[in-house]
Amino acid sequence: MTKNLANCKPSEFLRQTNKIRHYVQKWMDITELPQIRKRLPQIPEGATAEEKKALLREQSMKNLSDMLDSALDKHPEETIGVLALACFIPAEEAEDHPMDEYLDALSQLMESEGVIRFFISLVSLAQKSGK
């Protein structure tokens, strides 16, 4: 079993999550996820509430698609770096490990409520910082 945030010691968790916090700040800038997320649709004057809701829903789906394109297609090395750090692998060594190692770890991470709460708070902090 690969060491990761879901199965490490508390002191390791704290040190590693601080490394991840710093890396994610740079990753968010590189991928431009906060800017993509903030994109709003052009809502015509006089649009009904239902029309506005539909336009917002459509824009949200486009934003999600654009965020995935940025993270997974345009910046895959940086994105896998986040997962590598969650597995105590230096981001610069991420490509030296097989994908199934990351997928197994990802499964463990997704099952850990504490890890999920950490990543949610990390995103929240990034959004509050205006990035």
Of the listed ranges 9-13, 37-41, 42-46, 116-120, the least confidently predicted one is: 116-120
d(CA 108, CA 123): 20
pLDDT tens digit string along 63-103? Answer: 999 999 999 999 999 999 999 999 999 999 999 999 999 99
pLDDT band per the 50, 70, 90 thresholds, residue 30: very high
* Residue 32 pLDDT: 96
How does residue 49 score in pLDDT terms, banded at 50, 70 and 90? very high
Contact 84, 93 (CB under 8 A): yes
Residue 51 has pLDDT above 80, yes or no: yes
What Rg value do the Cα atoms of the chain yield, rounded? 17
Q: How far apart are CA 121 and CA 113, in angstroms?
A: 12
Q: How far apart are CA 73 and CA 84, in angstroms?
A: 17
85 in Cβ contact with 20 (< 8 Å): yes
- Whether the predicted pLDDT of 125 surpasses 90: no
Q: Are 17 and 5 in contact (CB under 8 A)?
A: yes
Question: Contact at 8 Å (CB) between 85 and 8?
Answer: no
